[in-house]
Structure formats: C-alpha cells, structure tokens
Chains A and B, each alone.
Chain A
Amino acid sequence: MSNAALQVARTGLDAQNTKMRVIANNLANVNTTGFKRDRADFETLAYQNVVTPGAPSDAQNRFASGLQLGTGVKLSGIGKISTQGTLQNSENALDMAIEGSGFFQVERPDGTTGYSRAGNFNLTAEGNLVTSDGLPLIPAIQVPQGATALTIGNNGTVTATLAGQTETSELGQIELANFTNPAGLLSVGNNILTETAASGAPQVGEAGTEGLGNIRQGALEQSNVNIVEELVNMIETQRAYEVNSKMISATDEMLQFVNQQI
C-alpha cells in the first residue's frame, strides 16, 4: 500500500541524509589545502494537482486557490562556494597560494588538464614541479640541479640562481586559468577539478592580469570551510531528519490504529 505522507517524509529523510554527507565531507576537508566547501541545494518535487486554482466550484464561482499536495523534496545540486580561504605562511619555497580568482593547471594521467587551487608543489628527481600527487604543472617548470634561491614572483615568473652562476635566470612562467562559472567545475578528487559545459572554457593568462589573482610564494590557501557554520548546519540537518522520521512514525501509528480498530 502506498501512502503519500509516508513517501513524502521519506524524501525528506533522503535529502537530509545527503546534506549530512555533504557537511561531513566539508568537515573532513577542513584542513585540505585549497578546498572549497560544498553546499547542498534543495528544491520541491512537483506538486500533485487535486483541485486546480481557477477551476469552477459552481456555475458562477471559481476556486480562488486550488488544492495542490506537495510530494516532497529533492536535492537540486551541490554547488561549490568559492570564497577565498585564509593564507597561511609555510616558509616553503615551493608552496604557492592564489590571492584572488584562478586555478593552477596540472596535467592529469590521461593527458587532460586538471585545475586546482592547492599550491603545495614538490620537485621530482628530474627537477619537475609537480603536485603532491605527482601531476606535473602546466606549463612545465624544470628546476636544474644545484639551483638555489628559487623565487616565484606575484605574476608567476619562476627564477633561480643556477649552480656556478651569480646572476639569476628565469626558469619559466606559471599561468593561471579562470572560468566564467567556477561553480560548474567537476570535482574529480585529489583537489582536482575539471572543465564541464557548465563551467565554460578556461581563460589562461599570467597571474595578476585580466582579473586573475596574484601568486604568493611561501604560503598555502587553507580550506574555506567554516567549522562553526558547518556545525550549525549539522545540528539543523539532524533536527530536520528527526522531524521527518517523527512524521513516518506518526503516519505509521495512524495506519496501525485503523488496522487494529476496524
């Protein structure tokens, strides 16, 4: 037997459960460099028309408002909130943070370009600049052996003093990418986002120009998750879950009562 109130309350439980999962993921990533928090957005499911507004109630009159029963709630999407995270000085020459908008470009194992705000870069044995997962930066930067005083400028220019030289030489230029709708990027894990039809095509440029942010060497962008806000959301979600489960037990009791009485 299908009972509408039971099913409607079930959609509420499902939605709150998913929201809780999003909150748990945000809290789990509270210390992930460059992480942008997610927000679960809900929308109502279609209403069921029992009496249409404006339908005739008798020969002269019409119903001023109809009877439309809601069928519950669903998750309409999970959007990234791309506010700036706080910058923390790390004193590591290979750490970079983006002040403002933009993403670092990295080459994924399948050859496609991934985008990331996490600036905790490392060097490989060959001297290539890679992410903590070993994905090379685009355009590639190679630091020759014995190079000292590695400096990354605000505009992304990488310079170093090569072994046996006194003058600094330029090793390359880090470029940032930006999107019309960064919330439309697809998260593929490991701090990497990829381009989608919703995000639009990337616009690549030198840091600090065309609306792109500046690069700050020796700093890392912290996760933008606000623990207090997430905890409040968690309590709210938990209570909404409880109320929906109360509705299920109340409806169950109603049906149980009828089954016993009649």
Chain B
Amino acid sequence: MDKLAYTSVNAMKSLMNRQTAIANNMANSNTVGFKADMVSAKSQYLNGPGHDSRAMAVERQMQADMNSGSVTQTGRSMDIALEGDGMIAVQAADGKEAYSRRGDLRIAASGAMVTGDGFPVMGAGGPITMPPAERVDIGADGTVFFVPQGGDPTQPQELDRIKLVSMTGSAISKGPDALFRAADDGVLPVDDNARVISGALEESNVNMTAALVDMIETSRAWETQAKLLRTAQELDESSASVMNMPRG
C-alpha cells in the first residue's frame, strides 16, 4: 500500500480533533467567561530512505484565545466583569490556586463565595467565606462589602478583597477544568491595579463567524484528505492491474 494513505489518515485524525475543538467553542458560545480554544498542528518529517515527502501533522498544541469577550450589564450585585487582563484567583479541586475570568459569583450552601462553575474565590488570605448577609456588593478594586443580617443597610462592612491577578507576562495554560494555571504550579502576585465592573458579566469570547469559517475550512480539508486516500487506493488498484496476467 502506498504510504500516502497513512499520511492522509493521520491528517484526517488531526482534522477531526480540530473539528471537535471548534464544536466545543460553538457549544460554549454562551458560557460566561469562556475563552475559545485554538488548535495548532506541527509538521513532523518522517526521515528514511528515499525522498522526504512524508510530513505528519503531530504534536498539536492547544492554547486559549485570551482576548476579552463582550461585557453585558446584568444589574446583579454579585456579577463582576474584569477589565483588561485581570483574572480572579480561585481554588481548584486539588486545593491549588488557579485563575478564571468567570465573574458570576454566588454564595454556596457552605457560605463560601464561589464562581458560577463552583470554584471558591480566593481573598487576601484564602477562600472567602460570607457571614449571613442581607446584601453583598463588590467594589471596583474587588473589595467585598456586605450588610450583615439585621445590620444597617447604609453602613456596609468590608469583608475581604477578591484576589485579582494580572496574566500579562506570565505563562499560563488552560487546564481540563477550564481554569488557568501558572507554569510549574506557580502563584501569581496580587495586582493592585486590577479593576472590575460590578453588575456586569464577560460573555464567551467565541467569535461565531470565525468559528463557522474554521468549521467549513476543516470540513473541506477533510474532504481533500479523503480524496487523497481515494487516490492512493486507485494507484494501488492500477498498479495491481498492470501486474495482472492477460487472460487468454
């Protein structure tokens, strides 16, 4: 069999992964704070006797598109959108610090302040726990104010400050739980200049038009590879027919 077939199959496998990533971006086009995934492939030449014509698409690297999504006003006091390159520090399931752009905060049954996907939000000294409160407000620098149960609504008390960090200049990557982590389990320092917009949410940054174009492009590339596979088959068939003994 012509080795061309293997090169095509490899490309098709890679293209289907790409299509899955695009489908995932589309599925998350309404997920708050979602950052689109980007798949890139690297060519790997297979060296050996003969002409070096076989380059496999391997070691696909995945990064997240860190551009900001559009910000919409919600009017809910515990919704925050991050300005610029800020990120909210949260506690991941393994207890380590991770980062998120998801600002639809709420109070869990345990009293912990959590993000919309359930990760505890970090304050100055660990996860923030809310005492029973009538009202919770979040200031532009991430400071959490609350009016205690039975307290004076005109005298909100300061509870803690949400740990906000800046992602610029640090190597961060997206994990399987859609949280971002610094390289080598590192912890990013507090960014005192980070600002949040209270009563607003950052929408998913998936660009639907681009996703549709990518989808079509991937589909067509897949068809080209399938055609090559067909060509390889035809080549094999024709060489086999040349070898056929003429029937008398």
Interface, chain A (partner B; CB < 8 A): 3-6, 8-9, 11-12, 15-16, 19, 39, 41-44, 46-51, 53-54, 57, 63-73, 76-77, 79, 81, 83, 101, 178, 180-181, 183-184, 196-198, 200, 203, 205, 209-211, 236-237, 239-240, 243-244, 246-247, 250-251, 253-254, 257-258, 261-262
List residues of chain A with CB within 8 A of the CB of B28.
12, 42, 44, 70, 72-73
Query: In the assembled complex, which residues on chain B have CB atoms less than 8 Å from the CB atom of A63?
Result: 59, 61
B residues in contact with A70, CB < 8 Å: 20-21, 24-25, 27-28, 37, 178
Give chain B's interface residues, CB within 8 Å of chain A.
Answer: 12, 16-17, 19-32, 34, 37, 39, 59-63, 74-76, 104, 106-109, 111, 116-118, 130, 132-135, 147, 149-151, 153, 171, 173-178, 183-184, 208, 211-212, 215-216, 219, 222-223, 226-227, 229-230, 233
Q: Which residue of A lies closest to B38 (CB)?
A: A65
Tell me the interface secondary structure of chain B in the complex.
mixed
Min CB gap B62→A, angstroms:
5
Partner of A5, one of B16, B178, B208: B16
A73 near B62 (CB under 8 angstroms)?
no
| Distance in Å: Cβ of A177 to nearest Cβ of chain B | 12
Report how far A57 CA is from B60 CA in the complex, Å.
11
Chain B residues with Cβ under 8 A from A251's Cβ? 19, 23, 219
A196: chain B residues within 8 A (beta carbon): 109
A-B contacts, 13 of them at CB < 8 A, read A8-B27, A41-B116, A47-B177, A49-B176, A51-B59, A68-B176, A72-B28, A181-B106, A184-B109, A196-B109, A244-B23, A251-B219, A254-B19
Which A residues are in CB contact (< 8 Å) with B116? 41, 43, 76-77
A106 to B150, CA, bound (A): 22
**CB < 8 Å: which of A46, A49, A101, A236 contacts B30?**
A236
**Chain B residue nearest in CB terms to A200:** B132
Question: Of all chain B residues, which has the CB nearest A100?
Answer: B153
Once A and B bind, how many residue pairs between them come within 8 Å at the CB atom? Answer: 211
Pairwise interchain contact B75-A262, C-beta atoms closer than 8 A:
no
A73 and B208 within 8 A (CB): no
Does the CB pair A203–B62 fall under 8 Å? no
Do residues A203 and B107 form an inter-chain contact, with CB atoms below 8 A?
no
A4 vs B16: C-alpha distance in the bound complex, in angstroms?
Answer: 8
**Which residues of B sit under 8 angstroms from A243, Cβ to Cβ?**
26, 29, 208, 211-212
Residues B118 and A181 in contact, CB atoms below 8 Å apart: no
Partner of A67, one of B61, B106, B107, B212: B61
Task: Flag if B107 contacts A211 (CB, 8 Å).
Answer: no
**Measured between C-beta atoms, what is the minimum distance from B31 to chain A in Å?**
4
Asked if A240 and B21 sit within 8 Å, CB to CB, the answer is: no
Taking A44-B24, A262-B229 as known contacts, 15 extra A-B pairs with beta carbons closer than 8 A to each other, sorted by chain A number, are A5-B20, A8-B24, A46-B177, A47-B176, A51-B61, A64-B61, A68-B37, A72-B28, A76-B117, A180-B111, A200-B132, A203-B150, A254-B19, A254-B219, A254-B223
- Set of chain A residues within 8 Å of B108, measured between Cβ atoms: 198
The answer on a CB contact under 8 Å between A47 and B178 is: yes
Assess the A83–B75 pair: CB atoms within 8 A.
yes
**Contacts A41-B116, A70-B28, A246-B212: A211 and B151 contacting too (C-beta < 8 A)?**
yes
Of the candidates B12, B76, B226, the one whose C-beta lies within 8 Å of that of A81 is B76
Of residues B132, B134, B174, B212, which shows the largest number of chain A Cβ atoms within 10 Å of its Cβ? B134
How far is B240's CA from A74's CA once the two chains are assembled, in angstroms?
52
Contact A69 B173 (CB under 8 A): no
Q: Closest residue to B36 on the A side, CB-wise?
A: A70
Chain B proximity of A31: nearest CB distance (Å): 20
Whether the pair B27, A12 counts as a contact (CB closer than 8 A) is yes
Q: How far is the CB of A95 from chain B (nearest CB, A)?
A: 25
- Report the bound CA distance from A114 to B99 in whole Å: 39
Knowing A8-B20, A203-B150, A262-B226, say if A44 contacts B34 (CB, 8 Å): yes
B117–A69 touching, CB < 8 Å: no
How many Å lie between the Cα of A39 and that of B104 in the bound state?
A: 11
Shortest Cβ distance from B223 into chain A, in angstroms?
A: 5
- What residues on B are CB-neighbors of A16 within 8 Å? 30
Partner of B222, one of A51, A239, A254: A254
Q: How far is the CB of B38 from chain A (nearest CB, A)?
A: 10
Chain A residues whose C-beta falls within 8 Å of the C-beta of B151 in the assembled complex:
210-211
The interface residues of chain B lying within 8 Å CB-to-CB of A101 are: 134-135
